[in-house]
Homo-oligomer: A and B are copies of this chain.
Amino acid sequence: MARSTDKKPDGAAAAESLGSPGVEPPVVEPPVVEPPVVEPPVVEPPVVEMPVVEPPWWTKPKPSRRRQPMSRDAIVKAALTIVDEEGIDALTVRRLGEALNTGSATLYWHIGSKNELAEMVYDHVMGELELPEPDPANWQHQIKAMAFDLYRLLLRHKDLVRLSLGHLPTGPNTLRVAEWNVAVLRGAGIPDQVVSYFGDVMSRYLDASVLESTTQTGPPMEMVGEYFRSLPPDRFPNMLALMPTAMVGSDEERFGFGLDLLLRGLADYLANS
């Protein structure tokens, strides 16, 4: 449905307008002959054809048997560069077109929608995650290490995580990560239903943690601190008592603490059912 109503160039109409030159307006100004844009030849690595695994609703780039113009991959990479350097809010279709020396209309031939692009960018980043061979005997250590790697990876790409919050993992690289996790946990003998639940919980916690570490809307930190200190002590005694601990610990430490709780909880759950 998504692309079924494609823009079909009306060949007949085009031919007609060409065949009736009398209608053409007098030459107001000669068409500005753009100097051929000397594109730095983006040296694409030789395309190794390998069975593509990706959601069927992602717009296919119409099997390109033509020149090498505006590959979907180049779009995704350019988008990721913008996100990394200027943040997610700077990623607009216009800005992306600018980075690729084209306009927004051109991009929409390739990407379907901005949400779709966002999922592709997210999945592209997931491809950067290195995964060791699953070793179920060390499942706790492996899961923990993977979670930290993923946490840092997402942080490295600024607020990219905002792209994917309520989404199921459907991209090929995201699926690869999911498969690895499930392999480790199932290999460790954890019941399928528990694996399913636990994976759910972990991905939520991870996304939310990254989000909290990156999002920085709201008033500046010092203003918040001052406000907190000004709270009436009779109504917020415990919050005030907790203030000194509020600034202690890096984001990563706090993330690690929660991760530790989840794994301890899982171990306890498995032991005591």
Q: Check B201 against A254 for contact (C-beta < 8 Å).
A: yes
List chain B residues, Cβ under 8 A from A263: 265
| Smallest beta-carbon distance A198→chain B, Å | 8
Query: Known interface pairs A182-B238, A257-B197, A262-B262. Does A166 touch B56 (Cβ–Cβ under 8 Å)?
Result: no
Q: Check B217 against A209 for contact (C-beta < 8 Å).
A: no
Partner of A219, one of B57, B205, B236: B57
List chain B residues, Cβ under 8 A from A258: 197, 200-201, 204-205, 262
Query: Known interface pairs A204-B205, A204-B209. Does A166 touch B215 (Cβ–Cβ under 8 Å)?
Result: yes
Q: Among A168, A201, A217, A246, which residue has the most Cβ atoms of chain B within 10 A?
A: A201
List chain B residues, Cβ under 8 A from A115: 217-218
| Smallest beta-carbon distance A48→chain B, Å | 16
Residue of B with least CB distance to A249: B197
User: Is A208 an interface residue when CB atoms closer than 8 A count as contact?
Assistant: yes
List chain B residues, Cβ under 8 A from A57: 219, 223
List chain B residues, Cβ under 8 A from A207: 208
Q: Check B224 against A170 for contact (C-beta < 8 Å).
A: yes
User: Is A82 an interface residue when CB atoms closer than 8 A count as contact?
Assistant: no
Residue of B with least CB distance to A263: B265
Partner of A208, one of B179, B197, B204: B204
List chain B residues, Cβ under 8 A from A266: 261
Q: Check B178 against A246 for contact (C-beta < 8 Å).
A: no
Q: Which parts of A219-273 form the interface with B (CB within 8 Å)?
A: 219, 223-224, 227, 231-232, 235-239, 241-242, 244-246, 248-249, 254, 257-258, 260-269
| Smallest beta-carbon distance A30→chain B, Å | 45
List chain B residues, Cβ under 8 A from A209: 204
List chain B residues, Cβ under 8 A from A257: 197-198, 201
Q: Which parts of A33-55 form the interface with B (CB within 8 Å)?
A: 51, 53, 55
Query: Known interface pairs A214-B166, A254-B197. Does A219 touch B55 (Cβ–Cβ under 8 Å)?
Result: yes
Please, could you name 8 A-B residue pairs with CB atoms under 8 Å apart, sorted by A? A56-B227, A57-B219, A166-B218, A182-B241, A183-B238, A195-B242, A198-B257, A201-B254
